[in-house]
Structure 1
Amino acid sequence: MPTIGNGKNKGVNVNGHNYAIDTFEYIRKLSNLERMYLWSPYSDVSMVTRIKGNISEEKLRSALNIVLQMHPLAGAKIVFDDDYNAWFSTDNVLKPFFKTVKMTSDTQWLEELQREIRIPFNPETGPMIRFVLIHSETVSDLVVICNHSICDGMSLVYLIRDLLDIYTNPEQEIKVIEPVDIKDFLPKGGFSLQSVMMKLVMGNANRKWEKNPYYFDHEDAVAVQEAYWEKYVFNTVLLELEPSETKSLLKQCRNKGVSIGSAVIAAFIVAHEDIAGQFVKNQKQLWVPFDMRRHATTSVDDVFGLCIGAPRFSYTYNAKKPFWENAAVLHKEIHKKVAKLDSHTMETPDSHPTFMDALSSFALLKEVVPEAYTKTENLKRYFQDENNITFSFAKRSRSMVPGTIPSNLGPLDIPETYGDLQIDEMIFFPVISDSVPLNLGGVSIGDKMVFSLSYPEPRDRGNNMTGEMIQIRNRALEYLGFPDKASKKAIG
């Protein structure tokens, strides 16, 4: 494995100690997109997998040690060089957090997820992933929480598949799947006036930033994250369909010329407008994440990493037209964007990496948790720097926040059975945000489909928000043709 700096006389600072850069093994430098999620308090993606059979904790831990070798980013930490570039490294990384608890209820996974998602990852010690096994002798729930900077939803699917595969067959030959920078697999863009203007804007912003930059660390991130989760609690409402119901919906969608994903997204949008009111103007748009591995111009293995594009486009549900006509319009727009590999929402402009740290993880939260900015000297100085360029960018970016972000992994093409173990159900939880009304995560295995509607619920509102989200889920079920599945429960 190469070393950082390629022979240049650079250095890194780790826990207050300076080291020569060439003493550290590294994988590659983080992209600005990956840095967007490094310090943010709500930048985790999670997967809950219900597994039938009696799982051995000892065998699962042994399989995990091998899986972390297969997928290097899952076992990586972050090293910063003198210029505050961030590098993935597998040198002297701690073992991932793993705990086992006895299963006492079918919904216990939510309590564990709510607890674990509040705990910040420390990028400089790594790894940025943790595991909870909720165990019984007949069925168990495996909860995996991971920082979005190193993975996406399909990464968690591949990780869990490989973990169970090695658990079943630990003597098999292991192939290391090297992480990639997904931008290298996209077609090179041609000249456009928009790209030229963006380069000019970011060039000016960088010059202003570099006159008075701020360098954030784990202590700063912990202060913001703790303050954020003192105000909010992670919550979710599930839309679940059994195999027969999924097949029925699929048949109807095919007759209407739309995908299940497009139909579910349209149903949640109109349900939200029925229950919570119309989206405000800037929220009448969607970001639709999609898997770049399936669409890259060069073949990409089942790599563990952040490999998503996300087109942003305007969409308004037309209440004068039938539901299925609206779903067809949405389906056409989504597939047009994906076919063009439209990923501009997820590709960040040529900003300085530390500018990206400040904007995505600190400037955007200044008004949400102002009390956090008294916790460290660095945050105090930054908070008081009211004319800092990142604050004006944050103000403008609020008008770009969409009303809906649907992250649908679709039907999974992975085995359901691993020896005497069987995957019964998977639930995907993408990154959430208090500024996005609809954060959806979809996944289907064995024709058992689950969409999560997840959100940070303000603690001072009790369960009022959850009550509204349950109504939205129930109304979405009506539009999809399943009114009898309405329930007063959020999950289960």
Structure 2
Amino acid sequence: MDIKSQTELTFRALGALESYAWQIDTTSPKHFTVTAEISGMTTIADWQAALKKAQLRHPLINARVDTGHDGRLHFFHDLLVEIPLRVARLDKIVSVEDEIRREFSAPFGVGDIALLKAALLYSKERCVLIITAHHAIADGRSLSYFIHDVLEVLAGKELADLALLPSVEELCSPAEGPIGDIRKPAVTASPVPYTERSLSRLKILRHQLSPELSGKIRQRSKQENTTVHGALAAAFVFALYHSSGWSGRPVRLTTPIDARKYSALDFGLSFLALFPTYAYEASNPESFWDISRAITDDLNAYRTKPGMTALVDMLEPFMNDHGLPNMMRFDREICAPDILISNLGVLPFSDCFGHLTLDALWGPNVLIGTEGEQTIGVATINNTINLLHTSYQSTPDFLVNAERILMLATEYSKESFFKKPH
């Protein structure tokens, strides 16, 4: 097979969710970043070589999107794909947050071949790696595993190539499995406008919960018959509901749900998450654990495959080739979050990769793009919960206020919630 033939090899057609992410990107950019802090001696050439080897492992990094002979969008294998790498000296940057802002504020352009890019904030003994991916080829959890692959390669491991994964609709097809019972996601009373995107308005903040508080959240959540995600989500719902100027309406909360668990798939780059939105009223501070359980109960329906199949069946008409207005309606009415919490969960990564140490992981930061949206990326590693806040209309002290609420919720009984002891 000659080079030209190889570059035209078809991987597969895009699924409805992938097609949505690709087509609406020019109206509301659908990309995100995950950031890692690494200590240990490296060279820039080491990173360049590791990125290339990790790229070869994941089929969709080596792909471009184009229309096939049947008129549908397809992933095509392309040998010419190269991951763009921007290198900056770590000792010259103002802040890591500013560099994440820079990467996140630059969406993928029409005609860009590479659908993943990297920025390396470099010093000989410590680096920060920012990976940005188009949502058509990846979600937050698979991108965190791509970073894991890069670190494994740097440690000298040889990694086998991964198989091309199916779309979420193929994985959870209503035609091939039972449809579960889910609570219908909350629809807005009227369409929420898209927000103005500009670098000057974009705020990105990082905040690490202490190992002690992270442990208390895990312990108390178990006692309260809920989850860590439910507790974190409730804290942010309360923080927003009690923020200055809030109207008193229920808070719309969106949670991306990973579909890989239904089929024990690997973590090759792919977009295998759907994100229902539910609304919660949080006027009574003593209802914190009730709200946490309500959030957990709504998401429990998706613990089994029929639940996700029901969501696929419900949302597919808004995502596939049914026109841009329907895709915009999904963004502005079906989703339209006040808060989006993208929780990568407890990442089963060792902190040691040969002579390198993974000190922290941040993300993902992603936005649906509607007005007032506050996104929290959650990554738990080394028994510590890392929070990343992204917004074009940032709620002041959002991370700090949520942490305060979590401290009170885990420390005191329900009767003394939000009350300091004498």
TM-score (norm 2): 0.81
Task: Return the letter of the residue paired with 2:213.
Answer: E
Partners of 1:148 and 1:431 within 8 A in 2 = no
Partner of 1:303: 268
1:449 to 381, 385, 391: 385
- Do structure 1's residue 473 and structure 2's residue 409 form an aligned pair? no
Q: CA 1:106 to 1:475, structure 2 compared with 1: closer, same or farther past 3 Å?
A: farther
Partner of 1:270: 238
**1:417-440 CA distance string (max 9 Å, x none):** 111101010000332124353322
Q: CA deviation at 1:406?
A: 1.4
**1:141-192 CA distance string (max 9 Å, x none):** 100011111100111111011111112125x252333232222222636799
Tell me whether 129-138 or 91-100 shows the greater mean CA deviation.
Answer: 91-100
Between Structure 1 and Structure 2, whose CA radius of gyration is higher?
1
2:253 to 286, 290, 295: 286
Q: CA deviation at 1:125?
A: 4.2
Q: CA deviation at 1:61?
A: 1.2
Q: CA 1:279 to 1:157, structure 2 compared with 1: closer, same or farther past 3 Å?
A: farther
Partners of 1:42 and 1:431 within 8 A in 2 = no
Q: CA 1:129 to 1:280, structure 2 compared with 1: closer, same or farther past 3 Å?
A: farther
- Do structure 1's residue 181 and structure 2's residue 167 form an aligned pair? yes
> How far apart in 2 are the matches of 1:93 and 1:279?
52
In structure 2, the gaps of 5 or more residues are 182-193, 410-422
Partners of 1:410 and 1:444 within 8 A in 2 = yes
Partners of 2:122 and 2:128 within 8 A in 1 = yes
Task: Return the letter of the residue paired with 1:25.
Answer: L
Q: CA 1:263 to 1:105, structure 2 compared with 1: closer, same or farther past 3 Å?
A: farther
Question: Map of 1:45-444 to 2, 5 A cutoff?
Answer: 45-81=32-68, 84-104=71-91, 108-122=95-109, 124-170=111-157, 172=158, 174-186=160-172, 188=174, 229-230=197-198, 233-278=201-246, 284-294=251-261, 296=262, 298-319=263-284, 321-339=286-304, 340-342=306-308, 348-350=315-317, 355-357=322-324, 359-360=326-327, 364=328, 393=329, 397-398=332-333, 401-432=336-367, 433-444=369-380
Partners of 1:323 and 1:479 within 8 A in 2 = no
Partners of 1:35 and 1:357 within 8 A in 2 = no
Partners of 2:379 and 2:386 within 8 A in 1 = yes
Q: CA 1:232 to 1:126, structure 2 compared with 1: closer, same or farther past 3 Å?
A: same
Alpha-carbon RMSD: 3.2
> How far apart in 2 are the matches of 1:300 and 1:191?
20
Q: CA 1:31 to 1:414, structure 2 compared with 1: closer, same or farther past 3 Å?
A: same
DSSP 3-state at the match of 1:238:
strand
Q: CA 1:305 to 1:427, structure 2 compared with 1: closer, same or farther past 3 Å?
A: same
Partners of 2:7 and 2:76 within 8 A in 1 = no
**1:373-411 CA distance string (max 9 Å, x none):** xxxxxxxxxxxxxxxxxxxx58x9437523332111111
Q: CA 1:320 to 1:416, structure 2 compared with 1: closer, same or farther past 3 Å?
A: closer
Q: CA 1:140 to 1:23, structure 2 compared with 1: closer, same or farther past 3 Å?
A: closer
Partners of 1:102 and 1:134 within 8 A in 2 = yes
> How far apart in 2 are the matches of 1:184 and 1:399?
22
Tell me whether 149-158 or 21-30 shows the greater mean CA deviation.
Answer: 21-30
Q: CA deviation at 1:327?
A: 1.8
Q: CA 1:232 to 1:76, structure 2 compared with 1: closer, same or farther past 3 Å?
A: farther
Q: CA deviation at 1:454?
A: 1.0
Q: CA 1:31 to 1:328, structure 2 compared with 1: closer, same or farther past 3 Å?
A: same
Task: Return the letter of the residue paired with 2:256.
Answer: P
Q: CA 1:445 to 1:320, structure 2 compared with 1: closer, same or farther past 3 Å?
A: closer
Partners of 2:217 and 2:231 within 8 A in 1 = no
> How far apart in 2 are the matches of 1:343 and 1:314?
21
Partners of 2:155 and 2:354 within 8 A in 1 = yes
Q: CA 1:108 to 1:400, structure 2 compared with 1: closer, same or farther past 3 Å?
A: closer
Q: CA 1:359 to 1:431, structure 2 compared with 1: closer, same or farther past 3 Å?
A: farther
Partners of 1:411 and 1:443 within 8 A in 2 = yes
Partners of 2:8 and 2:76 within 8 A in 1 = yes
> How far apart in 1 are the matches of 2:129 and 2:101?
14
Q: CA 1:456 to 1:155, structure 2 compared with 1: closer, same or farther past 3 Å?
A: same
> How far apart in 2 are the matches of 1:49 and 1:329?
33
> How far apart in 1 are the matches of 2:309 and 2:281?
21
Matched-pair identity in %:
17
> How far apart in 1 are the matches of 2:62 and 2:7?
19
Q: CA 1:412 to 1:352, structure 2 compared with 1: closer, same or farther past 3 Å?
A: closer
Partners of 1:412 and 1:444 within 8 A in 2 = yes
Q: CA 1:88 to 1:318, structure 2 compared with 1: closer, same or farther past 3 Å?
A: same
**1:211-231 CA distance string (max 9 Å, x none):** xxxxxxxxxxxxxx9x95447
> How far apart in 2 are the matches of 1:123 and 1:181?
23
Partner of 2:13: 29
DSSP 3-state at the match of 2:12:
coil
Q: CA deviation at 1:82?
A: 5.3
> How far apart in 1 are the matches of 2:63 and 2:196?
26
